[in-house]
Amino acid sequence: MIPLAWLLTLSGLVFAIGVVGVLVRRNALVIFMSIELMLNAANLAFVAFARELHSLDGQVFVFFVMTVAAAEVAVGLAIIVNLFRLRETVFVDEINLLKG
Amino acid sequence: MIPALFVAFAAVLLVSSLFVILNRSPVTSALSLVLAFCALAGIYLLLRAEFIGLVQVVVYAGAIMVLFLFVIMYLNLGRDIESGITIVVRRGLGWLLGAVLVAEGAWLLARGWAPGPGGPSAAAPGAGNTQQVGALLYTRYLFPFEITSLLLLVAMVGVIVIARGRRGPAAPPVAPAPGVSAGSAPARTTGGTAAVTPEEKP
C-alpha cells in the first residue's frame, strides 16, 4: 500500500517540472510536452485520490482528461505546423507580432 | 515489494521528466517523455488502475507521442539555440518560480490534511477494473462521454482545416483522406502533408 502523501509529492514534483519547462524553454514543441507533463501530474493525483476514497470516479475523470489532451495536442501541433510555415520558426519569443 | 517498485517507477518518472525540459534536442525530449509516460503507466498499475494504465500506454505513449515525433521530423528541427542574456535571466526566473511552487506544495502537504469521506463503490466488487470503469462511464457519465465524442469530432475537423494551409479560392477543396475515421491523428497528418497531390494537377 503506497501512502497517499508519496503519490501527492510525486504528482507535485512532476507538475513543478512541467511549470519550469513552460517557463524556461523557448521551443513551442517542448512547451507543449511540458503541458502534457502537467496534465499527467494532475491525472496521477486523480488516480491516487480515487484509490484512497475507494471510488472509480477519479479514474473516469482521468479518461476524460486523456481524451481532451489528445484533441488539444492534435489542434496545437497543427497550429505549430502552420506557424512554422508562416514564420520559419518554432521559438515562441520570435513570434511577437502582437507585441506593442 | 510494491513500495520498492513505486520508488523505482517514481525515480524513472522524475529523471525522464527532467530530461524532457533539460535536453536541447526536441527528439530526445520526446523520447524521454515516452519513458516518463511508461513509468507513470507502471505507477497506475501499482495503484490497481489497470484500465487507466493501459490507456496511458496506448493513447499517450502511442498516439500522442507519435504525433509529436512526426511533427518534429516534419519540421526538421535541430538542437535549440539557447544563449543570450535575456534567456539566461528568464531561465533563472523560471527555476526560481518552480522552486517557489515546490515550496508551496511542501508547505501544504506539511500542514494537517486528510482526504474526505469516500463514497461507496458503485460497481460489483468481483468485477475487473475495466468492467467497473466501463459500467460507470456508460451509466453515470454517459452525457459527458457523448460530449467527448463531439469534442473529438470538432477537433478532427478543425485540425484538417488548420493544417491544410492557405490556398487560393480557385483551388478545389481537398477531400479528406480515407484515414479520417481512424481518429484525429492520421487525419491531421494526411491533411498536413497534402500540399498538391498528383491527381489534383491538371
ipTM (interface pTM): 0.91
Domains, chain B, in order of start with CATH, read: 1-98 (1.20.120.1200), 141-166+175-202 (no CATH)
| pLDDT(B179) > 60 | no
Nearest to B71 among A25, A49, A80 (CB): A80
- How far apart, in whole angstroms, are the C-alpha atoms of residue A2 and residue A24? 33
B192: pLDDT confidence band, cut at 50, 70 and 90? very low
CATH of domain A4-94: 1.10.287.3510
pLDDT digits (tens, 9 = 90+) for B13-72: 999 999 999 988 999 999 999 999 999 999 999 998 899 999 999 998 889 999 999 999
Domain ranges of chain A: 4-94
Query: B residues 147-166 near A, CB within 8 Å?
Result: 148, 151-152, 154-156, 158-159, 162-163, 165
Q: Which helix or strand (DSSP H or E) is residue A21 part of?
A: helix A4-24
Residues 6+ apart with CB under 8 A from A67: B148, B151, B152
Q: Integer distance in angstroms from the first to the last C-alpha of chain B? A: 67
Whether B148 sits inside 8 A of A64 (CB atoms) is yes
pLDDT digits (tens, 9 = 90+) for B82-103: 778 888 888 899 999 999 999 9
Q: Which of A32, A43, A66 to probe the B interface (max B CBs under 10 A)? A: A66
Q: Please tell me the pTM assigned to this model.
A: 0.82
pLDDT given for residue B201 in this prediction: 45
| pLDDT(A41) > 90 | yes
